[in-house]
Chains A and B, each alone.
Chain A
Amino acid sequence: MYRIRARYEKKGRVKYLGHLEIIKVFERAFRRSGVPLKYTEGFNPHPKMSFALPSSVGFSSTGEYMDVEVTEIVEMHKFIIAMNETLPEGLRIIAGGYVEPKAKSLMSKVDYSEFQIDFSIQKELVGRLEKLLSLESILAIKQTKSGKIVENNLKDDIHGFEIIKGEGNAITLKVLLSAGSRGNLNPIFLLKGLGEKLGEEINSNEANVLRIDIFASTDDGPLSFEKTISEVAMQ
């Protein structure tokens, strides 16, 4: 049994697929490509796949990761070509390698996500936005799942940012945010919070969110998941 780790991107129409739909798309793509998948035992066998914190419905992404088990080694470039030939438009594998079959689950290692958010905001507000993001704390009100209203500091989950001015009112905000089970900040929630502080609603339905990559926390700083592929690669 061998385990492949692949990085893929999700762009265009397919960004509206839910995670369960993505899983089905991959299952069928594997079958069409003839990749020798390892199946679970039992009455309803299904391929052994796991994903690292899939990005939300509506976000584009260049940093999605999955592990899949195969019964025999397939040359990686052949695997990538075969999959990309059959995946629907918008889904594309951009890197891959073999990892330890017993490697830790992908999900448990996610600490940060890097996003690029395109939206529009009145020109005069850009300076204030920059200042706001540089503050020690940005308090935002959040309703928890149980319905409790809590105040939290968005800044705790912002680990870096950059503002790029575009044409007219368009701006691009690049941010590194906490992600995963140890803390998570959704960029839509961030936009909402920032809008409230600026006293100007930012329409998140008009914003385009791209997840650039996900990272694990290391002593040397955030490490792109793609690095974990080569680090533990067996080939």
Chain B
Amino acid sequence: MGMQIDYLLKQVEKPSRYIGGEVNSINKEISEETVRFGFAFPDVYEIGMSFMGLHILYFLLNDMDDVFCERLFSPWTDMEKIMRETETPLFTMESRTPAGKLDIIGFTLQYEMSYSNIVNMLDLSGLPVFARDRDESHPLIIAGGPCAFNPEPLADFIDVVFIGDSENILPEFIERFKVHKTEKTAKREFLKSIVDISGIYIPSFYEADYEDGMFVGINPIEKEAPTIIKKNIVIDLDKSYFPSKQIVPYADAVHDRAVIEIFRGCTRGCRFCHAGMVYRPVRERSIDTISEIVDNIIKNTGYDELSLASLSTSDYSDLGSLVEKLLSRYEKERVGISLPSLRLDSFSMEILQRIQRVRKTGLTFAPEAGTQRLRDVINKGIEEKDLIESVENAFNLGWDSVKLYFMIGLPTETEEDLDGIYDLAKKVLETYYRMPKEKRRRKPRITVSVSNFVPKAFTPFQWEGQDDPSVFMEKHRYLSKMFRKEKTIQFNYHDADTSFMESVFSRGDRRLSEVIHKAWISGCKFDSWSEYFNYDKWIAAMEDSGLDPIAYANRFSDYNQALSWDHISAGIEKQFLASENEKAKIGELTEDCRQGCSNCGISKNYRGTCDV
């Protein structure tokens, strides 16, 4: 196969996407006993390699004896074309083994619009795409990641879904798989034998019911299968696995730097935020553990930039000391530190001031909504004066490039809220010009990015409707017109049709597997790439399956309506989500968990894990 791949590589754009052999990537001796695992990222190399979870699971699995974890990515369309012409199956980066020869292929579900790529990768591997058509000779197809909390749209393709964290259960799963492999037990028996592992969900063990085309419930059809699948969590991040290395990618990865997860979960409780709800409770890694890990990663990769990753970096309880420690350690070695997802407060600004001695990066703020009223509705506890003070500070410190993120189509939004986006951006601009002239070295660069609200499962807004694409487009026009007269403010927005399909999948049921399959047959793939997303094909696939996309994107009738993810538990109670949604309607705030417990259900369902 080596020769053949060489022939392909000479004909594609960016061949370095496919070569493997990067620093810290692993090659192992393969024996009969080796469990061959393919970690599959359903998008191109540059995106997949930027995903921290890939590095964690890759080294976790490869640290185990008798397991060889290799990587699989979606080949870009030029490569796929030549692969199909030459009948070259999808192959692993490491040993260039055809994916169909592996024991397990594990897909990570990072965003809904990658689903058609999963089907495409299975097909490129020469595998039947539907789980029901695969037998003992085929690899086991597993999946996990944020979108796995509502895995139903993929139910027909995937054999095993991991709900929640998986670092601490993968070893147990692999051990049991090893027994299954050596004893050659039947696949279905193996699947029955693993349902007791926390967070494991076998879609084929459940059957969904519909009445008049409406989803009404889902129930186990195997006696071993639990009625409710509780997500799995890692309790102590200090004791949990984190690699001392990262693979250093070749082709330009989107995030090409060292990264350490400083905590998991978020205490803020923004009502639209999926990650903030499903990754509760908040769990911090200690400064000592972080510095030890970072030391190894920097030494083993040669990176000159370190990113402190989390959902809301300024909420780390001792961020000041952490940053101080890392800065004094790395200043001489010229390792820059970047803090994604900072909040707009004076404390964060002090830290930024320290950091900028090393390197200055662009600043990003996410007020999310244009008015205080709407920010209260979504429980984004940010006030306008915080934002203005922060950017004022940033400008004074020498920054001149600020990105502002907003969401439109949020529940209760009115025209006033759209105007508020413009007003806020304008105030930011004015703040710049309030600085003394000698400090204004050049024109500021202000970017306003608007995304479209997508109601997500397991959030307080999971019952809310989404604006029709035509309404979104109307709002985009309205805002564009306002921003057109501001030459220094760059305005951009997300495609409305893509957001519409995203909302179909984020709250979809298992009938959508057929839709994904049909859309893929008609040519859909790389749907998160605007040049490939084909709305008409998706709508045709929905119609062909007798499904109405609007029924998925619309407001749900009431809190009692059955949800296609009711059999999965993210640890937070439905009742809590409902009460949050009610509070949203009257703009009532809910405290940050660190200020007081609002009884979301996590501490009840995972006793002793929530210590804020």
Q: Which residue in chain B gives the minimum CB-CB distance to A208?
A: B6
Q: Chain A residues with Cβ under 8 A from B20's Cβ?
A: 13
B304 sits at the interface (CB 8 A): yes
**Is B11 interfacial (CB 8 A cutoff)?**
yes
The reply to whether B302 and A27 form a contact with Cβ atoms under 8 Å apart is yes
Most buried by B among A13, A18, A27, A58: A13
Across the interface, which residues of A come within 8 angstroms of B359, CB to CB?
43-44
Q: Are A90 and B10 in contact (CB under 8 A)?
A: no
Q: How far is the CA of A13 from the CA of B16 in the complex (A)?
A: 8
**Interface positions of A from 1 to 29, Cβ below 8 Å from B:** 12-14, 16-18, 21, 25, 27-29
A86 within 8 A of partner (CB): yes
Number of interface residues of A (CB under 8 A): 27
B303: interface (CB < 8 Å): yes
B301 with A28: CB separation less than 8 A: yes
Assess A39 versus B11: contact at CB under 8 Å? Given A16-B19, A30-B302, A31-B304.
no
Chain A residues with CB under 8 A of B16: 16-18, 21
**A29 & B250 in contact (Cβ 8 Å cutoff):** no
Query: CA A214 – CA B195 in complex, angstroms?
Result: 63
From 206 to 251 in chain B, residues with beta carbon under 8 angstroms from any chain A beta carbon are 248, 250-251
Q: Report the bound CA distance from A18 to B9 in whole Å.
A: 13
**A14 contacts B15, C-beta separation under 8 Å:** no
Query: Is A45 an interface residue when CB atoms closer than 8 A count as contact?
Result: yes
What residue in chain B is nearest A26 (Cβ atoms)? Answer: B302
**Residues of chain B lying within 8 A (CB to CB) of residue A86:** 23, 302
Q: Is A136 an interface residue (CB 8 A)?
A: no
Nearest chain B CB to A15's CB is how many angstroms away?
9
Given that A28-B301, A30-B302, A58-B9 are known contacts, is A43 also in contact with B15, CB under 8 Å in the complex? no
Judge if A32 is at the interface, Cβ distance under 8 Å: yes
Bound form: Cα–Cα A58–B250 in Å = 15
Would you call B7 and A28 a contact (CB within 8 A)? no
A164 to chain B, nearest CB (A): 21
Is A89 an interface residue, CB under 8 A from the partner? Answer: yes
Is A16 touching B302 in the complex (CB atoms < 8 A)?
no
A206 lies within 8 A of chain B by Cβ: yes
Answer yes or no: B22 CB below 8 A from chain A CBs.
Answer: yes
Q: Are B360 and A43 in contact (CB under 8 A)?
A: yes
Q: Which residue of A lies closest to B334 (CB)?
A: A45
**Cross-chain contact B19 with A13 (CB below 8 angstroms):** yes
In chain B, residues 232-291, which have Cβ atoms closer than 8 Å to a Cβ of chain A? 248, 250-252
Chain A residues lying within 8 Å of B11, measured Cβ to Cβ, are 205
Q: Which residues of B lie under 8 Å from residue A44 when comparing CB positions?
A: 359
Interface secondary structure of B, over-half rule: loop
Closest B residue to A12 by CB, please name it.
Answer: B21
One of A16, A32, A45 near B299 (C-beta < 8 A)? A32
Residues of A within 8 A of B248 (CB): 28
A31, A45, A205: the one contacting B302 at CB < 8 Å is: A31
Q: Considering the chains assembled together, what is the distance between the CA atoms of A30 and B334 in angstroms? A: 13
Contact B250 A21 (CB under 8 A): yes
Residue of A nearest to B9 (CB): A16
Chain B: interface size category: 20 to 34
B609 within 8 A of A: no
Residues of B343-365 at the interface with A, using a CB-CB cut-off of 8 Å, are 359-360
CB closest chain-B residue, reference A45: B334
Q: Contacts A18-B16, A21-B251 given; indicate if A205 touches B7 (C-beta within 8 A).
A: yes
Bound CA span A90–B25, Å? 14
Asked if A88 and B23 sit within 8 Å, CB to CB, the answer is yes
Contact between A58 and B15 (Cβ–Cβ < 8 Å)? Answer: yes
Nearest Cβ distance between residue A31 and chain B, in whole angstroms?
4
- B300 CB-CB contact with A under 8 Å: yes
Q: How far is the CA of A209 from the CA of B248 in the complex (A)?
A: 27
- Chain B residues numbered 551-600 whose CB sits less than 8 Å from any CB in chain A: none
A57 CB–B CB distance under 8 Å: yes
Pick from B21, B301, B334: contact of A32, CB below 8 A. B301
Q: Which of B281-318 contact A (CB under 8 A)?
A: 299-304
Expressed in whole angstroms, the minimum distance between the Cβ of B505 and any Cβ of chain A is 35
Q: Please give, as numbers and ranges, the residues of chain B lying within 8 Å of A18 by CB-CB distance.
A: 16
Chain B residues, Cβ within 8 Å of A16: 9, 15-16, 18-19
Least Cβ–Cβ distance between A107 and chain B, in angstroms: 23
Q: Are A28 and B302 in contact (CB under 8 A)?
A: yes
Interface residues of A in 125-142 (CB under 8 A from B): none
Does A14 lie within 8 Å of B334, measured CB to CB? no
List CB contacts (< 8 Å) of B334-392 with chain A.
334, 359-360
State how many angstroms separate the Cβ of B298 from the closest Cβ of chain A. Answer: 8
- Which chain A positions have C-beta within 8 A of B252? 21
Closest to B301 in A: A28
User: With contacts A58-B9, A58-B15, A205-B10 known, is A90 near B360, CB below 8 A?
Assistant: no
| Neighbouring B residues of A27 by C-beta, 8 Å | 302, 304
Give the residues in chain B near A31, CB-CB below 8 Å: 302-304, 333
Residues of B within 8 A of A17 (CB): 16, 19, 250
The distance in angstroms between the C-alpha atoms of A29 and B300, with both chains bound, is: 10
Decide if B300 touches A13 in the complex (CB within 8 Å).
Answer: no
Q: Do the beta carbons of B10 and A25 come within 8 Å of each other?
A: no
- Cα A229 to Cα B252 in complex, Å, equals 33
Give the contacts of A212-233 with B (CB-CB under 8 A).
Answer: none
Task: State how many angstroms separate the Cβ of A28 from the closest Cβ of chain B.
Answer: 3
The list of the 4 closest CB pairs from A to B, nearest first, reads: A28-B302, A31-B302, A16-B15, A32-B302
Residues of A within 8 A of B (CB): 12-14, 16-18, 21, 25, 27-32, 39, 43-45, 57-58, 86, 88-90, 204-206
Since A14-B19, A88-B22 are in contact, a sample of 13 more A-B pairs with Cβ atoms closer than 8 Å, ordered by chain A residue number, is: A16-B16, A16-B18, A16-B19, A17-B250, A18-B16, A25-B23, A25-B250, A27-B302, A32-B23, A43-B359, A58-B9, A88-B23, A204-B10
A-B contact pairs, 16 of them (CB 8 A): A13-B20, A16-B18, A16-B19, A17-B16, A21-B16, A27-B304, A28-B302, A30-B302, A31-B302, A31-B304, A31-B333, A39-B334, A58-B15, A86-B23, A88-B22, A205-B11
